[in-house]
Amino acid sequence: MIQKFSFNKTEIDGLILIKPFVAYDERGYFIKDYNKKLFLENGIEHELKEVFYAHSRKGVIRGIHFQRERQQAKLVRCISGNIYDVIVDLRKGSSTFGKWQGFELSEANKDVLYVPSGCGHGYIVLENAIVSYKCAEDFYGEYDDGIIWNDKDLNINWGTDRVSELTLSDKDKALQTFEEFKSRYGGLN
């Protein structure tokens, strides 16, 4: 069985849910989750600069992260396990500024999210997971920033009832609120 690429627009402009090419047979499967030419044909200009992998235990929350300068558009895929991935539009002037959307990404569904630059990104791990990030910009620690995961104004439904215990880094526990972000920066360019 073969699953061909499909590109599905979402409620947030530029955020695209991608079904990658997957060929299944008696041995398992072969997956292609990026093809520059095909992505360009579907309106996604994504020049790959860095690839990261994060391994996390069930109950870990990562994010909501972004770079203040030189924002990173990224392709995000859960290559092992299961996560609930959250994207927040932080772009000045965007019609969906301050809106969030969530998607379940897993080894089983093989979905890929194209996260446009200027959006915050985070996830909760529902089952021990390895997540890949294919970034169109380098990571710059001096621009690394974020918004607290449980911000009252964003009111994100993380599905925390699906895990028994939450784990966050000290850095993520100390992130700013959405109101503080708006007051400091007004949004991302």
Instruction: Write out pLDDT tens, residues 130-145.
Output: 999 999 999 999 999 9
Which of 72, 76, 94 shows the shortest CA–CA distance to 143? 72
Q: What pLDDT does residue 173 have?
A: 98
Residues in the chain predicted with pLDDT less than 70, given as ranges, are none
Q: Find the distance separating the first CA and the last CA of the chain, reported in whole Å.
A: 43
User: Does the predicted TM-score (pTM) go above 0.85?
Assistant: yes
Q: What pLDDT does residue 2 have?
A: 86
Q: What pLDDT does residue 46 have?
A: 93
**Widest CA span of the chain, in angstroms?**
56
Classify domain 49-185 by CATH architecture.
Answer: Sandwich (2.60)
Q: What pLDDT does residue 148 have?
A: 98
Between CA 47 and CA 179 the distance in angstroms is: 32
Tokens of 117: 């630059």
Whether residue 3 contacts residue 22, with contact meaning beta carbons closer than 8 Å, is answered with yes
Active-site annotation, residues? 65, 133
Q: What pLDDT does residue 189 have?
A: 86
